[in-house]
Structure 1
Amino acid sequence: MLRKLRLTHGLSLEEVAAGIGAGVGTLYRWEQGINSPYPRSLQNLASYFNVSTWDFVDISPNRSELADLRLHAGLSQADIGVAFESAGIPRQSYGKLERGVLEPTPEQVRMLVKLLQQSEEIVRAAIVRSQYRKETKDFR
């Protein structure tokens, strides 16, 4: 998708790399699928091309796990942990939610809706999918 966008806009690797503050080699590895952009870089790419971060992946918000929603919001686990901590919620709670080992409180769900910029329904469904993935992984 990235290469297609770049070529459609008639841009070189150098131009896009400079536009988003990344190295040419880094951008090349993203295009080749060797590496994936960090959340902030994904946001920068989406902004640069005026598209959604969802345009870069084959999964929709309706089928996403919590980690997918976080990445598309351009946030790291640490970013959400800091936001949780500022609200009096233990910082490590988010990682446990993402791994599916913690049942969220209503306050955590409200915060995630705001931070991830998704509806409560999508956030709750992502949490359930994260928990299900953990359960099926444990039984293998």
Structure 2
Amino acid sequence: MSRRILQGFDPEALKRRRDELGMTRGDLARAADISVTAVADWENGRRTPQVDSLAQVAAALKCEIGAFVDMGPGDRSLADLRILAGLTQPQLGKITGISTTVISSLERAESGLSEERAEVLARALGVDVAAIVAGYTKARNRAPGEQP
């Protein structure tokens, strides 16, 4: 079950947005229902947030998760698309009716992506089917040992 932002999280962007809104770490922690320590750890780069926690932070800061995750449109894997939607694998599974095990397998391109599943995932993630296929293809064509 993948809940962590493993790559592309930009701690400086989080701090910048919080500062733009004139919020203290405590203000953000209260608004997002997370701990002040978590905010400090994320901003200082000591830890990375979990997807669902970052979704709460983005809502509190009135922006999209993409404001804090640096990844170009052509670089987005299925996991990246899920993260940008602010969903964990179990949450996406619940929305789509696809098991968490299958979602995980699709994100690693270790099982086939049917047209039907691509359409269901595209609707749930708010992207077009081409983005789903491109994300799957990215994972499928990665070098041995490379993270999807």
Alignment TM-score, normalising by the size of structure 2: 0.82
| Separation (CA, whole Å) in 2 of partners of 1:83 and 1:30 | 28
Runs of at least 5 residues in structure 2 that lack an aligned partner in the other structure: 1-12
Identity %: 26
- Describe how 1:110-129 pairs up with structure 2 within 5 A: 110-129=119-138
| Separation (CA, whole Å) in 1 of partners of 2:108 and 2:130 | 19
Which 10-residue stretch deviates more, 13-22 or 102-111? 102-111
Higher normalized helix content (fraction of residues): 1
Runs of at least 5 residues in structure 1 that lack an aligned partner in the other structure: none
Which position in structure 2 is the counterpart of 1:17? 29
| Separation (CA, whole Å) in 2 of partners of 1:138 and 1:11 | 41
Q: What amino acid does structure 1 have at the position aligned with 2:130? A: E
Which position in structure 1 is the counterpart of 2:43? 31
Following TM superposition, by how much is the alpha carbon of 1:101 offset from its aligned partner in structure 2, in angstroms?
A: 1.0
Over the aligned positions, Cα root-mean-square deviation in angstroms equals 1.8
Are 2:40 and 1:40 aligned?
no
Higher relative contact order (CA 8 A, sep 6+): 2
Alignment TM-score, normalising by the size of structure 1: 0.86
Larger Rg: 1
Following TM superposition, by how much is the alpha carbon of 1:92 offset from its aligned partner in structure 2, in angstroms?
A: 2.1
Q: Label 1:79 to 1:36 Cα distance change in 2 as closer, same or farther (>3 A).
A: same
Measured against aligned partners, the alpha-carbon deviations of 1:39-97 in whole angstroms (never above 9, x if no partner) come to 1222122222222211112103332111111111111112233344x3xx555221111
